[in-house]
């Protein structure tokens, strides 16, 4: 018994060291939901210091808002080399994931609440089948356990820290135990999986989410309302 305890402890220390040496790189994914849609090309150029472009797709059914769709993803693809992180807030996303991949998404996330487990698994397979990265998203009221059946198939898990639908909402600090739990499971079961947070991330709350284990931070208003966007992106890295 003590032998196993010892192994567990040395693993934990190793993980801490990995983080300390800076290997857990913090990535910033500005959400273009807060950009000026009349000047999208310019708005994407303004975030060239970021790691991903976060694209919020809403259908007016899964969430009470309608934003952008497949043709816009295809248009954005032509004006940036940055990977496109497409967050699908749509009902039964399995119907559309391939089209988003073909339009140029590099990473596609689907909500676990948006369909059956079987269809969610199928959606992840379809995304992988086109050589793209795939992940699941959990809304604030959805427990961490809901992501667990998909963990080993995921390249990323996204934890919402606001109710999906709109930018500029208040950060929900009470999501941190969920984030910590998912970081623990990721480290145990699928260490290359990324852990993303979305909603209310700013220069103060970024420190909280990083301390709770997130390594990809979505930020809409905190990036686009900043005077110095490259400076703000750097600041959000914690």
- Residue 93 token pair: 């996303």
In angstroms, the CA 32 to CA 178 distance is: 26
Question: C-beta of 11: minimal distance to ligand DX5 in Å?
Answer: 34
Residues that bind ligand DX5 (CB under 6 A): 31, 33-34, 54, 56, 87, 162, 164-169, 198-201, 218-222
Q: Which does 162 bind (CB under 5 to 8 A by kind): Zn ion, ligand DX5, none?
A: ligand DX5
- The entry of ligand DX5, Zn ion, none that residue 135 binds, CB within 5 to 8 Å by partner kind: none
Please check whether residue 233 is in contact with residue 47, taking contact to mean a CB–CB distance below 8 angstroms.
yes
| Beta bridge pairs of residue 58 | 89
Q: Which is nearer to Zn ion, 34 or 181 (CB)?
A: 34
> Which one of 51, 52, 53, 56 is in contact with Zn ion (CB under 5 A)?
56
Which region among 41-49, 179-187, 192-200, 221-229 touches Zn ion (by CB under 5 A)?
Answer: 192-200
Minimum CB separation of residue 191 from ligand DX5 in Å reads 25
Q: Please pick, among 59, 85, 155, 198, the residue that the annotation labels catalytic.
A: 198
Could you tell me if 141 and 118 are in contact, meaning their C-beta atoms sit under 8 angstroms apart? no
Does 198 participate in binding Zn ion (rule CB under 5 A)?
A: yes
Structure tokens at 68: 């952008």
Shortest reach from residue 7's CB to ligand DX5, in Å: 39
Chosen residue from 87, 133, 139, 183 binding Zn ion by CB under 5 A: 87
Separation in Å, CA 144 to CA 62, 131, 139, 164:
20, 27, 10, 16
Q: Which one of Zn ion, ligand DX5, none interacts with residue 219, CB within 5 to 8 A by kind?
A: ligand DX5
Residue span binding Zn ion (CB under 5 A) among the ranges 3-11, 34-42, 49-57, 146-154: 49-57
Annotation marks residue 91 as catalytic = no
Q: Please state the closest distance from residue 129 (CB atom) to ligand DX5, in A.
A: 25
**Of 87 and 183, which CB lies nearer to Zn ion in the complex structure?**
87
Residue 159: which of Zn ion, ligand DX5, none does it interact with, CB under 5 to 8 A by kind?
none
Nearer to Zn ion, 56 or 202 (CB): 56
Residues that bind Zn ion (CB under 5 A): 56, 87, 198
Report, as residue numbers or ranges, the catalytic residues: 56, 198
């Amino acid at each position: 018994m003590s032998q196993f305890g010892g192994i567990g402890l040395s693993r934990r220390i190793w993980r801490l060291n990995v983080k300390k040496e800076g290997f857990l790189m913090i990535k910033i994914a500005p959400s273009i939901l807060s950009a000026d849609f009349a000047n999208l090309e310019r708005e994407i150029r303004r975030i060239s210091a970021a790691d991903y472009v976060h694209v919020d797709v809403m259908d007016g059914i899964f969430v009470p808002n309608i934003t952008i769709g497949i043709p816009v993803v295809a248009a954005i693809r032509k004006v940036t080399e940055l990977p496109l992180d497409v967050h699908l807030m749509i009902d039964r996303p399995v119907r559309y994931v391939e089209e988003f991949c073909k339009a140029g998404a590099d990473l596609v996330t689907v909500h676990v609440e948006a369909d059956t487990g079987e269809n969610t698994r199928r959606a992840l397979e379809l995304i992988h089948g086109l050589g793209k990265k795939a992940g699941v998203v959990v809304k604030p009221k959805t427990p961490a356990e809901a992501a667990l059946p998909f963990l080993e198939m995921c390249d990323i898990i996204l934890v919402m820290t606001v109710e999906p639908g709109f930018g500029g909402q208040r950060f929900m600090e009470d999501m941190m135990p969920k984030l910590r739990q998912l970081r623990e499971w990721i480290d145990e079961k699928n260490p290359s999986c990324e852990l993303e947070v979305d909603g209310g991330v700013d220069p103060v709350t970024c420190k909280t989410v990083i301390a709770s284990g997130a390594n990809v931070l979505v930020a809409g208003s905190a990036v686009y309302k900043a005077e110095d966007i490259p400076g703000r992106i750097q600041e959000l890295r914690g």
